[in-house]
Structure 1
Amino acid sequence: MSAAEKKAQQEKWFGAETIVPAERAVRRELKDPDSAQFKDVRANYTEEFGLVACGRVNAKNSYGGYMGSRRFVFGDGRVILERRDNVAHAWSGACL
């Protein structure tokens, strides 16, 4: 197996182990979890943050309207959600 194939295999495994719990955790933070629309969700590993999931979520607010896409970072059981938390440091360190 080539290095590229190994990397792709690891990313797929990390993704399966990280993305599903991340989406569940993000849903728990939303006013209308059933309305959540996820986009560009991926798993990543960095020395500083460890294994994380990064992506965007759009969901309905209490008035029933969609709020617009918000970035999120999930790692170590914690959700950092744009417009609620300061996501800039985590996003630049773990997701770019």
Structure 2
Amino acid sequence: MRKATMMVPVFLMVAACGQSEAEKAESAAAMTEIRNQRVAREFVGGVLKDPASAEFRNQHGLCGEVNSKNSFGGYVGFKRFIAASRELVVFENDGRMNSADFEAAWSMHCR
């Protein structure tokens, strides 16, 4: 999986040769999205009990949903996250941010 993830940016760079400016901009945007998703997964994995069990979905840049195992080995269910930095990963209803503030941040940065 990691090897395939690393090959996508290389493929996009090779595909960028001979493209129009609009196509190059689209390729650059796709590469940025891939990089942001990879960074967010790294940040989120850094705070999970079992990072190897993490399942991601509906990810857009530094935001998305993650499901992972807890201390008892059971999956906890998908929760939305915002991964602003390695030190600032906020999960929905984790007590670090009230619901209204999380919704406002999600609406501003994640849609």
RMSD of Structure 2 on Structure 1 (CA): 1.8
Identity %: 36
One-letter amino acid of the counterpart of residue 66, structure 1: Y
Structure with the greater alpha carbon radius of gyration: 2
The yes-or-no answer on 1:63 pairing with 2:81 is no
Unaligned runs of 5+ in 2: 1-19
Bigger helix fraction: 2
Cα distance in 1, alignment partners of residues 41 and 93 from structure 2: 17
CA distance in 2, matches of 1:9, 1:73: 24
Determine which structure has the larger strand proportion and give its number. 1
Determine helix, strand or coil for the equivalent of 1:40: strand
1:44-84 superposed Cα distances (whole Å, 9 cap, x missing partner): xxxxxxxxx11100001111111110001122443121221
Q: TM-score under structure 1 normalisation?
A: 0.75
- Counting matched residue pairs gives 86
Asked if 1:83 is matched to 2:83, the reply is no
Question: Normalising to structure 2: TM-score of the pair?
Answer: 0.66
* Alpha-carbon offset, residue 7 of structure 1: 4.9
Shift of the 80–6 alpha-carbon distance from structure 1 to 2, 3 Å rule, reads farther
Distance in 2, matches of 1:57 and 1:35, equals 10
Aligned to 2:26: 8
Query: How far apart in 2 are the matches of 1:40 and 1:62?
Result: 25
Q: CA deviation at 1:23?
A: 0.2
Show structure 1 runs of 4+ deviating over 4 A. Answer: none
- The structure-2 alpha-carbon separation of the partners of 1:90 and 1:7, relative to structure 1 and needing over 3 Å to count, comes to farther
